Structure 1
Amino acid sequence: MERRTFLQQGTLAGISALAFGSAQAATGTNAGKAEKTFNMNYAPHDGMFRNSAGADFLDQIRFMHDQGFRAIEDNGMLKRDTAQQEKIGNLLAKLDMQMGVFVIDGGDNWKVSLTTGKQEFVDNFLKTCRASVETAKRCNAKWATVVPGFFERKLPIGVQTGHVIDALRRGAEILEPHGLVMVLEPLSDTPELFLRTADQTYEICRAVNSPSCKILYDIYHMQRNTGHLIPMMDLCWDEIAYIQIGDNPGRKEPGTGEINYKNIFKHLHEKGYKGVMGMEHGNFHPGKEGETALIKAYRECDDFLG
């Protein structure tokens, strides 16, 4: 199996200026008046446009489409009921939108788990992988986030790494026949997390050696943990399958912190990245005004071709 062969899928479109839709967009009655798509395929999430589109996620998706977005992500998709997963998948297909990541989480992501090598944690992970395959079919997902849990401080780091690799290999065996890719996410939320850096994740992906085990490069977390964003992205590029966004400090939209997102988006565009760009952050300002400002921020950072 060639470990470097994987698809970075998405849409690539032209420049557009901000035009915030009317209340009709929230109910999908703004058909035919959707804004132009972005140069990169940004993916909002549930709740990001609640004030403009209402509490119903399906209405929010219609609103996102009307504003020019062509993807979503939904960390909690696995926990939604089957009927709702299918409704979301059907709506995305109707609007020609992509499903970004959801999270493979059987309850062990935020504690000491896969690093221990204990069978109970491996079994739960594999069970969740099987359930994730069915969820992915319903909502047309191609990527799912995996977090291997916390360090087991009683074991040497090499042994912990070996345990994680073993579990991920078995998970990849379940996902690979269905074209579902687990994207490993190094995080900065707590120093107890085992997966911390892109280069560490790169090493693990090479060891797992499957097209169904790649890197989720979350720019916010990588700025906090290591910085050196573009050079590290380039070094790990062959194993990166998914990008997420969030400015630092604050984890809000681009332009609210220190990261030069226009430059990063331009770099990704020049590299030929056509995948989903998950908007893994909150809104800097509250209410509809904050949602308007968020879209404006993306229009400005996406205007990098001039």
Structure 2
Amino acid sequence: MKETKQADGIVCMLTERIDKELLENTHHLKIIANMAVGYDNIDIEVAKKHNIIVTNTPDVLTETTADLTFSLLMATARRMTEASDYIREDKWGHWSPFLLAGTDIHHKKLGIVGMGRIGEAVAKRAKGFGMSILYNNRTRKYEKEKELNAVYTEFDNLLSEADFIISLVPLTNRTKHLFNKQAFQKMKKSAIFINVSRGGTMDEKALVNALKSQEITAAGLDVFEDEPIPSDHPLVRLDNAICLPHIGSASIETRKAMLHLCMENVVSFFDGNGPKTPVFE
């Protein structure tokens, strides 16, 4: 807080809260460069009120985050972490037909909630597995449906039809706890839920109950409501949940590109050329 009072610009990460108190106690602040696509860590309305520019890092992390999303889907479906732990714990005594048997991915039905850049990139990967793709988005994307062989459907229908449901929506008042008790109840018992957006889009208690009661089969999570989570978190303790420490864009190449874009935004703004990737005009 002390340093920001005199700052002309701030480069921040999604773990840092840029709230009303901070924004109203700065004297020279003109730009905030957020090292993330999402910007729910920043009070956008207060920033607008004080004419403070906010930028993010779209595009540069799309493919890397899509890689992680599909990797998490695969690892969850095929129980990879369980299988790795099985050997580490010296439990592998013999081969058997259904030892750690998971579920197929190919030719299954994928439901993407939030068909933005990352959603589209995930859909491209799913095509290679012969998956059929359902999607729900705030606005329908007619031009992408033919390219991706994707079918637009209502949220409730996606929940009940898809074998894999991926959350890729930003965290807003509308999407907070979008995946709640009722949502999990509408999913197939064989469904696998993947969240690589924001932890607040899911009700963690409802998800724990759905997994414990086998209302759904499994979950793969890269995000949580309160981060970091402790090792005794209820989701970490479940065999049918894979939990990752928010590493969606965590490749060396992409993290460097994100930081570079943050600095480009700041330099371009102070050079008088305007920010490269503002989140609002």
State the TM-score, normalized to the length of structure 2.
Answer: 0.33
Q: Answer with 1 or 2: which has the greater Rg.
A: 2
If each structure's helix is expressed as a fraction of its own residues, which one has the higher value? 1
